[in-house]
Amino acid sequence: MTTTSPSSTAATALPADWRDLIALTKPRVISLVIFTGLCGLLAAPGAIHPVLGFTAILCIAMGAGGAAALNQWWEADLDAGMKRTANRPLPQGRLDRTTARDFAGVLCAVSVFLMGFAVGWLPAAILAVSIFYYSVVYTIWLKPRTPQNIVIGGGAGAFPPLIGWVAVTGHVTLMPVLLFAIIFFWTPPHFWALALFVKSDYAKVGIPMMPVVAGEKSTRRQILAYAVLLLPLTAAPWWIGGTGAFYGISALVLSGLFLLLSIRVGLRERTGPEDRMKPEKQLFAYSILYLFVLFAALVADRFIML
Ligand code: HEM
Ligand SMILES: CC(C)=CCC/C(C)=C/CC/C(C)=C/COP(=O)(O)OP(=O)(O)O
């Protein structure tokens, strides 16, 4: 993919600004990715030397940032066509594509090798899989092809707590798999709530997101189905004895509210223009707060149980 606008050609001569490099890593989105990775590390049974723990989180941050940068490098032309993404550094021509690609490649490579040499090759392998999953499986393969792109692609952002956990314990058990599953099944309602109110953007650039292909009604029902599933799934770590009641009750309350907001979105039949979709915007905003607080409760519970 090449950026062809005259303004971007002129801008390739400019030195890369560090703020644009940071923007390439989608810092706001990956803040939650890093947080869930940190929570996986802190909730795992056992201990890790603080320097190694810090290194593991740094590697997750670099890997997630590098994968997000690869995503933006690949999608520069698509991003240029959508209102939400048109101001990014590549479509604006503030950064040249080669710099972006090299920056992304270095971040990804350093994250995997540093994780491998300093922390362990199992967390490094899972990190490599998640980078590949986001930048190739989701971005290149699934996203332009199927409305199930984020259902299958949801795996990409679900790995960090598993990586954090395995960095401490050295092996995969049911608990970190449950943490993976929680994020995996959280992703569709998180994203489709947003997709409902930016549907026209995706339609314009031909990305087959669920509301564009299956329509609003079907998307709303599917959001509701995932929210129903999240209620028992988020409580499962408590039921299997992996956490105490503090986490279990927090999960039920948080997921109960998630379900209520999803019912409001899921059962809505008539909607106005995209800028009037208040319940959808509220569900999207809450989805982010929800995951932050749920994972914070997991860690708090571990310290309560000690
Ligand atoms: C395939 C999976 C996912 C898709 C398609 C997706 C999509 C999106 C999109 C399009 C946005 C708007 C961002 C923007 O305008 O730049 C967003 C926001 C966000 N996402 Fe996701 N997301 C996914 C998974 C995740 C995961 C796994 C996490 C964290 C665990 C996450 C955390 C966030 C956060 C924190 C924001 C808000 C960023 C802000 O405040 O600007 N997302 N997501
Ligand atoms: C450790 C590791 C590699 C984790 C992967 C982390 C990661 C950044 C996961 C979230 C996936 C994500 C931000 C999708 C955004 O969708 P999009 O890319 O379709 O959004 P856009 O339209 O805003 O570009």
- Residue 89 has a CB neighbour count (10 Å cut-off) of 24
Complex ipTM value: 0.95
Atom of ligand 1 nearest to the CA of 153: 1
Helix runs in the chain, H state only? 6-11, 18-24, 27-43, 50-74, 76-80, 89-92, 97-114, 121-132, 149-153, 155-169, 174-197, 199-205, 210-213, 216-239, 245-266, 278-305
Please identify, among 130, 153, 172, the residue that sits at the C-terminal boundary of a domain: 172
Please identify, among 172, 187, 206, the residue that sits at the C-terminal boundary of a domain: 172
pLDDT digits (tens, 9 = 90+) for 2-34: 333 434 444 444 555 889 999 999 999 999 999
219 and 129 part of one domain: no
pLDDT digits (tens, 9 = 90+) for 117-169: 999 999 999 999 999 999 999 999 999 999 999 999 888 999 999 999 999 99
Atom of ligand 1 nearest to the CA of 288: 35
Per-residue pLDDT, 272: 67
20 and 156 part of one domain: yes
Yes or no: say if 33 and 60 are a contact pair by the CB < 8 Å rule: yes
192 and 251 part of one domain: yes
Q: Is the CB of 68 under 6 A from ligand 2?
A: yes
219 and 165 part of one domain: no
122 and 216 part of one domain: no
* pTM: predicted TM-score of the whole model, two decimal places: 0.93
Unique residue bearing structure tokens 């723990």: 53
The CATH number covering residue 108 comes to 1.10.357.140
In the reported structure, the alpha carbon of residue 243 is separated from the centroid of ligand 2 by a whole-number distance in angstroms of 29
CA separation for the pair 21, 127 (Å, rounded):
21
Cα 148 to Cα 23, 32, 116, 206, 208, distances in angstroms: 27, 23, 32, 15, 9
Q: Which residues contact 16 (CB under 8 A, 6 or more apart)?
A: 95, 96, 99, 103
Q: Is the CB of 128 under 6 A from ligand 2?
A: no
Yes or no: say if 93 and 11 are a contact pair by the CB < 8 Å rule: yes
Amino acid at 134: Y
Q: Is the CB of 142 under 6 A from ligand 2?
A: no
Both tokens of 48, joined, read 């890790």
Atom of ligand 2 nearest to the CA of 149: 19
DSSP 117: I
Q: Is the CB of 153 under 6 A from ligand 1?
A: yes
The CATH number covering residue 204 comes to 1.20.120
Residue 295's domain comprises 173-306
Pocket test for ligand 2, best of 24, 32, 33, 59 (most atoms within 8 A of CB): 33
Q: Is the CB of 176 under 6 A from ligand 2?
A: no
